[in-house]
Structure 1
Amino acid sequence: MKKALILNNIGTPASPRTADVKVYLDEFLMDPDVIGLPFPLRWLLVKGLITPRRSPQSAAKYRAIWTPEGSPLAVHTERFADKLREILGPDWIVRVGMRYGEPSLFRVLRELRESSVETLVFAPLFPQFAQATSGSAIKTVKNELEKMSWSPELRILPAFHDREEFLRPQAELIRPHLAKADHVLFSFHGLPESQIREAHGGVDEKCDAGHPCRANCYKTQSLTTAKDLARLLELPEGRWSASFQSRLGPAKWIGPSTDDTIKVLAAGGVKNLVVACPSFVADCLETLEEIGLGGKEDFLHAGGREFTLVPCVNEDDAWARGFVKLIQ
């Protein structure tokens, strides 16, 4: 039986040129799971306001982290795929399919169908579930399979925010930095509160206050990841915290904000700050530029002395072995 594994992530521009960044942002932000407005309003907002302004700014940020091999997200994901091919062996086809940009999820699905794949494992590489990320990708795969009249045995990797196979490799990447750290900050990608309300009928008071509310809540899953990592690292209360980054637009987002938290920690006397970003499995614009460059600058400007960004699990050997257990 021919088996295939699709590693899915959000995607990346083809290059850091403004034109390529605009193409990517247009595709990303026009997804109704990302901006949930009616199409005409979404089109006006994205094409008329957001991407004309943000594309040059985002292109400059991509240039700051771009490598000779290409986008860090794409490079790390392909290296991870290579590791999995070594572990899984010739019985598996392992492909990378991005939700936006290339390699396109749509093209990968068509190619796998032509390869007569019978079992398809779809793995959204997002530890915590959100409709804008995993949800959108899963919906896309199911819709495309239906359009192609293709019915392989479909298995979908669920959220792995609380799985030891993910947590332990991430914890071991943080551990070497603990001796010098005054504080460890776990920074997660943020979401508009409106998306939390749509997912389960409202922002629970407990969740809004920073306590777990529902098992399927993105914020709860993020806080669970932070608490589990703190437990594995034996971090006492007060030596770690969790926050949410990457706010876009004027709408209210879940908090506390990473930008604000970094400044508050520095103002409160934290001199050596270690930051990990466990809502990402591969280093990307949001980790390397937003936190590694922008967050560091904010921290030092606010009085901090040393800022360390912990790498994501990327193509870490222990993570690759753990991931195979997750999909099998």
Structure 2
Amino acid sequence: MNTETLTNPSLPKEKPVGKTGVLIVNLGTPDSPSVPDVRKYLREFLMDERVIDIPYLNRWLLINLIIAPFRAPKSAKIYRELWTPEGSPLKIYGESVEKKLQKVLGDDFVVKLAMRYQSPSIENGLNELRKLCLSEIIVVPFFPQYASASTGSVYKKVMEVVKDWEVLPEIKFINRFLDHPKFVEGFVNLGKKYMAQREYDHFVFSYHGIPERQITKGDVANYCQFGTCCDTLNEKNQHCYRAQCYETTRLFVKGMGIPEGKYTVAFQSRLGKTPWIKPYTDELIPELAKKGVKSVLAFSPAFVADCLETTIEVGEEYKEIFEKEGGEHWQLVESLNDSDIWIEALEDMVRKA
């Protein structure tokens, strides 16, 4: 190595000797829509202490004696609606992104797909990359907004796997990408596509919810009030999931030219009786219909690939609620999936990392 580069930071860094590994990580999906596979997935997912952050024994009893036995058959039925002949859409899109990203990055990179829960696992992906004697590994969790239960869980799992490696390459994480220009542009373009087809009375931005206590636990600055504190994203709330969701919405709204008063941020998929961040999407929808809103364009910007929470929950279940309350047209904006602009965003993030 040229020792001058160590003492003179203005000189360009030398190119790494080896290749760079890229581990792209999404949430996960059951191996099949069968009840045993869905139960297995639910157990792994919900036993994660960052997802359900209660004492281990209480969590074990809740998941293994109540949620997994009784929820798995219902969830399996929904997964069967979602499933395609090729398998789970989330995994199909992930495999497609893996191939496309590998192609655009070229031979200096090795791209591997992993799921936080189930297969292909983070452990297997990292061990495959380990064998290649890489100079560095870049981990890209597929979560636009940081949350302890999503991105934080990926960090934790990666470090659990590599902590005993004798030789550790440099490991970098993409913390969030809610404000990446290509990510924003991708959703804005999809929204404009539907807005060109018809006028919409209202726009709903539905994000996956988390318990309020997880926001409070991460609020080291004691800044959160679950209210106007999220009106801006600043140094005190930059890691707050709720604040990041509102910032994502502001960027989308600006890009699409949606006026104030015509859009709402809400949160879906809550579990249990403890308070989750509000407003709840399923409670918001009847209120909109009662106010005379007849047409809604709905976004689910916490996801980059269509899955049960987007296609079924937002696209079908919420549509049914809206129409039952008197609404006439509910349209889900699909996720970025394996679109060219999503690949461009990923390529840019990886190269800059």
How does the TM-score come out when normalised to structure 1?
0.97
Residue in structure 1 matched with residue 292 of structure 2 by the alignment: 269
Shift of 1:274: 0.7
Task: Give secondary structure in 1 for the equivalent of 2:150.
Answer: helix
What are the equivalent positions in structure 2 for 1:2-151 lying under 5 Å apart?
Answer: 2-151=19-168
Residue type of the partner of 1:204?
C
Residue in 1 aligned with 2:10?
Answer: none
1:249 maps to which residue?
272
State the Cα distance separating 1:90 from its structure 2 match: 2.0
1:286 matched to which residue of 2? 309
1:186 corresponds to 2:205? yes
1:107-147 deviation digits (Å, cap 9, x = unpaired): 11111111222210100010000000000111111221112
Quote the Cα distance in structure 2 between the aligned partners of 1:117 and 1:25. Answer: 34
Shift, 1:208, TM fit: 6.6
**Alpha-carbon deviation of 1:235?**
0.5
Identity of aligned residues (%): 38
Q: Which stretches of structure 1, 4 residues or longer, exceed 4 Å deviation after superposition?
A: none
Q: Tell me the number of residue pairs that the alignment of Structure 1 and Structure 2 aligns.
A: 328
CA distance in 1, matches of 2:26, 2:148: 13
CA distance in 2 between counterparts of 1:117 and 1:158 reads 21
Q: Deviation digits for residues 65-117 of structure 1, max 9, x if unmatched?
A: 11111111111111111211121112211111111000011111111111222
Partner secondary structure for residue 98 of structure 1: strand
Is the 1:193–1:203 Cα contact (8 Å) retained in structure 2? no
Give the deviation of 1:203 after TM superposition: 7.1
Letter in 2 for 1:261: L
**Is the partner of 1:123 in helix, strand or coil?**
strand
Q: How far apart in 2 are the matches of 1:191 and 1:206?
A: 13
Q: Which of 218, 226, 230 pairs up with 1:199?
A: 218
Shift of 1:34: 0.8
Q: CA RMSD in A?
A: 1.4
1-structure distance, mates of 2:188, 2:296: 16
CA contact (8 A) 1:12 1:101 kept: yes
SS at the partner of 1:132? coil
Q: Distance in 1 between matches of 2:163 and 2:314?
A: 40
1:200 aligned counterpart, secondary structure: coil
Higher mean C-alpha deviation, range 139-148 or range 124-133:
139-148
Aligned partners of 1:151 and 1:138: how far apart in 2? 15
Task: Give the drift of 1:243.
Answer: 0.6
| SS of the residue 2:139 aligns to | strand
Matched, 1:325 2:348: yes
Contact 1:206 1:212 in 2 (8 A): no
Counterpart of 1:167? 184
In the alignment, what sits opposite 1:300? 323
Structure 2 gap segments, 5+ residues each = 1-17
Q: Distance in 1 between matches of 2:26 and 2:342?
A: 16
* Deviation of the 1:206 alpha carbon: 5.4
1:250-308 residue CA offsets vs partner (Å, 9 max, x unmatched) = 11000101111122111211111110111100001100111111011101111111111
Which structure 1 segments of 5+ residues have no match? Answer: none
How far the C-alpha of 1:173 sits from its partner, in A, is 0.8
Distance change >3 Å, CA 44–CA 208, structure 1 → 2: farther
- 3-state secondary structure, aligned to 2:115: coil
Structure ranking higher in helix proportion: 1
- For the 8 Å contact 1:165–1:326, the answer to whether it is kept is no
Cα distance between partner residues in 1 of 2:201 and 2:219: 37
Judged with a 3 Å threshold, the aligned counterparts in structure 2 of structure 1 residues 207 and 77 are, in CA distance, closer, same or farther, namely farther
Residues 212, 146 of structure 1: alpha-carbon distance in 2 compared, 3 angstrom cutoff: same
Which amino acid in structure 1 is aligned with residue 211 of structure 2?
P
Q: Letter of the aligned partner of 1:119 in structure 2? A: E
Q: Quick one: which amino acid aligns to residue 200 of structure 1?
A: D
Range 199-208 or range 164-173, more displaced = 199-208
Task: Give, as a single letter, the amino acid of the residue that structure 2 aligns with 1:128.
Answer: Q
Match 1:259 to one of 245, 260, 282: 282
1:150, 1:312 → 2: CA distance? Answer: 38
